[in-house]
A and B are shown apart, each in its own frame.
Chain A
Amino acid sequence: GQQVMQIPQYQHVQEGEDFTTYCNSSTTLSNIQWYKQRPGGHPVFLIQLVKSGEVKKQKRLTFQFGEAKKNSSLHITATQTTDVGTYFCALKGGSNYKLTFGKGTLLTVNP
């Protein structure tokens, strides 16, 4: 079945520092999605990457899809306390109808 590894599991930063989480797949992906879950909340879709080497930006967030379409990263520049939460990558699983989620990276930000 589809294997996805997301690292690190936890990241604690001082406000203003940068943050990166990585997602690695055992197989070539057609696309990858990223979600954010605030503490006590539900996952919210952030973005989808489709093309090899694709880079997308949302304000301080930069998403990248690897050239081989087997890995992806999410980078946050100058973290703020509002960035606190768990960031998940998600990719198509064994069928066309489901997503397999990584275990997530829990980001905490010290003000």
Chain B
Amino acid sequence: SQTIHQWPATLVQPVGSPLSLECTVEGTSNPNLYWYRQAAGRGLQLLFYSVGIGQISSEVPQNLSASRPQDRQFILSSKKLLLSDSGFYLCAWSRLLRTGDSPLHFGNGTRLTVT
């Protein structure tokens, strides 16, 4: 069966510090991978998605970047965190090429607080 791992679960970082969140998927190959952010309320904002190694699409201009160095590994990074980067970061994967036809499977998320 497929599993998605995301870590750390919680993180407190000072403003201006770097960030690296990692997500890995097991049990499937060539998944579509996603980073979502959920800030203080409930809406899910798509940050990045990737359909293959080295292929990253950015949805929102921001202080963050993403990379996919391996097929089942997705990394979210920042060189200098801002207070506004605080939130709940969720990694997700889907199996098929068209996500509208395939559900998203989310990791447990990382709660990031920038102080």
Contact = CB atoms under 8 A, between A and B. Distances in A.
Is B a genuine binding partner of A? yes
A13 interface: no
A98 B109 contact: no
Interface in B63-115: 90, 97-101, 103-109
A30 interface: yes
Interface in A84-109: 86, 88, 90-93, 95-101, 103-104, 106
How many B residues are at the interface, by size bracket? 20 to 34
B106 A43 contact: yes
How many A residues are at the interface, by size bracket? 20 to 34
Contacts of A99: 46, 99-100, 104
A31 B100 contact: yes
Contacts of A97: 32, 49, 51, 57, 97-99
B42 A106 contact: yes
A88 B44 contact: yes
